[in-house]
Structures are given as C-alpha cells and as structure tokens.
Amino acid sequence: MQHTIKADTGWRIWWQLTRPHTLTAAFAPVFLGTMIALTYGDLHFPLFLAMLIASLFIQMATNMFNEYYDFKRGLDTEHSVGIGGTIVRNGIKAQTVLAIALALYAVSMLIGVYICSQTSWGLALVGLVSMLIGYLYTGGPYPIAYTPFGELVSGVVMGMLLILIAFYIQTGTVTALAILISIPSMLLVAAIMLANNIRDLEGDKIGGRKTLAILVGRPAAIKILATFFCISYLWVIGLVILGQLTPWALLVLISIPKPIKAITIFHAHLLPLEVMPAMKHTAVTNTIFGLLLGIGILIGHLV
C-alpha cells in the first residue's frame, strides 16, 4: 500500500527544514560537556550559550546541505519518507535552502570568533574543520553520508568533539575523564545516523549510496544499533564501578525503555513510514541519556 506524504505548510515548512529531531545531537553533547566542566570550576554562561547556539546552527546548516544535495542528486521525491524532501514537496527553491545553510554557517563563524577571543584561537581550526566536515557529509564529489563511515564521522564530530570543546571552553583543558565520558555520546549520535540509514536502506541502494546499513545488511545493522545502545549504558556502569563517576550517573538507566522500543520497532516493521517512530526513539535516547548523565554528574559533585 502506498502512503501519501502530506506537505507541510506555513512555519512548519521552515521548522521541518532544520530536521528538528537531529538537533538533540548538538544540544545534548554541549550540555553534558558543560556539566562535566562544572565539576572543575564555575560556569561561564555566555560561553555555554554561544557554544550551544553555534552548535545548533551548524547542525541545522548540515541538515540543509543534506536537503540540498539529496535534491540535486535526485534522491528526494514528493513521496520521500521523513522530514527530508522539503524542496520537492513544499516548493522551497533549492538555492534558498543553500543560501540559508551558508548564512547559518556565517553566523556560527561570528559566534566562533567570540568563543576564540575568550578562550583560545586554536579552537578556530577545530571549528573550521568541523564545519567543513558538516558540509562534506552530503556535499562535495564524495559525500561522507554515502559511505560506510557516516556513523563514525558524525559520532566523533557531533558526539565526542562537541563534548570536549564545551568542556575545554569552560576549563581551558581536556582531561582523560572527559574523553571517557564522551564515548557514550559518540555512540548515541552514531546511532541516530545508523537508525536513519536502516530506515532508508532500500532507497539509498537505488540512490547509489554505500552506507554501513547497506554494507552489512538490515539484520546486522539492527544488531549494530543495539550494540551501540548496550555499550553506551554499560560504559557508564563501568565508570561508576571504577569510581570515575558517582552512582548518580546511573540516572541514565531511566532512559533504557527508549532504545528498547527503537530496536523492537525495527524488528517488527520494514516499511520506512512504519519505522519512523524508531528514529524518534533513537534521537530521544541521545537527548535523555545526555541530560540525565549531565545532571547525575552535577548532583554527584554537589552532594
């Protein structure tokens, strides 16, 4: 049975263009990195806010580059499932989407100048590389998203690196503990991308992509996704057992129902529209996990 994708109207067009379910991949790591930093000293709120806004803008721009290049390569149609395909379904001009993405990058760079002026100009290179990767994820002659390395790259940049930058701008250093705590975030951001690729597996095959999900097959991809979830929780439990985190970090266990629901849906359904809730549960897992871990770390420091 063919499902009709209803076009958005008004402000919803622009909101969906940002692909809001992916924005948690920018918010949660920045929050977590800042909470880790609070165990080392006071909060510099303007830097936290600047980092958060810049990260969200870069994520939005990356999503719009994705929208633009998927359209240019003919991957999006009016029947595309999900929140991609805004150009073909809602009549937004492709050049307008590209212009907005570049404008968001420009604003992010201005914010980055402020952050560097308050911390270290060495961060400028890190920020520029991150933005370049965001563009190359779907842009350029060899898009990262079309390869088996999309999960790895997005996890490292949007998961681990964001935490470490957020931590650095507050403390002026990067510690081994901060790196260890960033591992689950890296895996959960990668999980968001993997869940997306599992949903779009058949369409991506037609489009010529060689994603991890296509390379290993759907059943194995679901197992890898489940492994990402399991390692994330076991990693925190391990850090608690080793005394690197207080038992308050185990607050993350509250979020376990979300990844269980995601895996259950992927096992039970095949059609892209039917597995959309699994995408949401995966993204929510990243958000709740990061928030709970950050709160647990802060409480453990204060009590």
Assess whether pLDDT exceeds 90 at residue 11. Answer: no
Question: Mind giving me the DSSP string for 230-261?
Answer: HHHHHHHHHHHHTTSS-GGGGGGGGGTHHHHH
What global pTM score does this model have? 0.87
d(C-alpha 62, C-alpha 139), whole Å = 9
Q: What pLDDT shows up at residue 4?
A: 44
The model's confidence at residue 76, banded by pLDDT at 50, 70 and 90, is low
Average pLDDT on 130-147 reads: 86
Consecutive H or E run containing 68: helix 45-72
The C-alpha atoms of residue 220 and residue 54 are separated, in whole angstroms, by 35
User: What does the pLDDT average to over 175-195?
Assistant: 96
Q: For residue 97, is pLDDT > 70? A: yes
What is the dotted CATH code of the domain comprising 11-302?
A: 1.10.600
Q: Which two tokens stand for residue 259?
A: 């990844």
- 3-state SS class at 138: coil
How far apart CA 154 and CA 142 sit, in angstroms, is 16
Q: Which residue has the higher pLDDT, 4 or 219?
A: 219
Give the mean model confidence (pLDDT) for residues 95-108: 91
Angle between helices 162-171 and 176-199 (to 10 degrees): 150
Share of the chain above pLDDT 70, in %: 89
Distance (Å, rounded) from C-alpha 157 to C-alpha 44?
23
Residue 9, Cβ density class (10 Å: 0-12 exposed, 13-18 middle, ≥19 buried): exposed
* Mean pLDDT in residue range 245-266: 97
Spatial separation of the C-alpha atoms in residues 25 and 278, rounded to whole Å: 16
pLDDT of 78 over the 70 cut: no
Count of beta carbons in the 10 Å neighbourhood of residue 111: 20
Task: Decide which of 138 and 258 is more confident.
Answer: 258
Separation of alpha carbons 64 and 138, rounded Å: 10
Give tens-digit pLDDT for 110-126.
Answer: 999 999 999 999 999 99
Angle of helix 24-38 relative to helix 176-199, nearest 10 degrees? 170
Mean model confidence pLDDT for the chain: 88
CB 112 within 8 Å of CB 124: yes
Burial environment of residue 65 by CB neighbours within 10 A (0 to 12, 13 to 18, 19 or more): buried
SS (H, E, C) 253-272: HHHCHHHHHHHHHHHHCCCC
Q: Is the pLDDT of residue 23 over 50?
A: yes
pLDDT given at position 29:
92
- Whether residue 5 contacts residue 89, with contact meaning beta carbons closer than 8 Å, is answered with yes
**82-98 mean pLDDT:** 68
Query: How many whole angstroms separate alpha carbon 57 and alpha carbon 52?
Result: 9
Q: Average of pLDDT values for 281-302?
A: 95
Confidence of residue 64 (pLDDT cuts 50, 70, 90): confident
Would you place residue 93 in the very low, low, confident or very high pLDDT band (cuts 50, 70, 90)?
A: confident
Specify the pLDDT at position 95: 87
- Judged against a pLDDT cut of 50, whether residue 3 lies above it is answered with no
Euclidean distance between CA atoms 264 and 229, whole angstroms:
13
Q: In the predicted model, what is the mean pLDDT of residues 21-42?
A: 88
Compare 81 and 295 and report the one with higher pLDDT: 295
The arithmetic mean of pLDDT across residues 60-71, rounded, is: 83
Query: pLDDT for 141-162, tens place per residue?
Result: 888 988 999 999 999 998 899 9
Lowest mean pLDDT among 7-16, 172-181, 239-248, 266-275: 7-16
Domain residues of the chain, as ranges?
A: 11-302
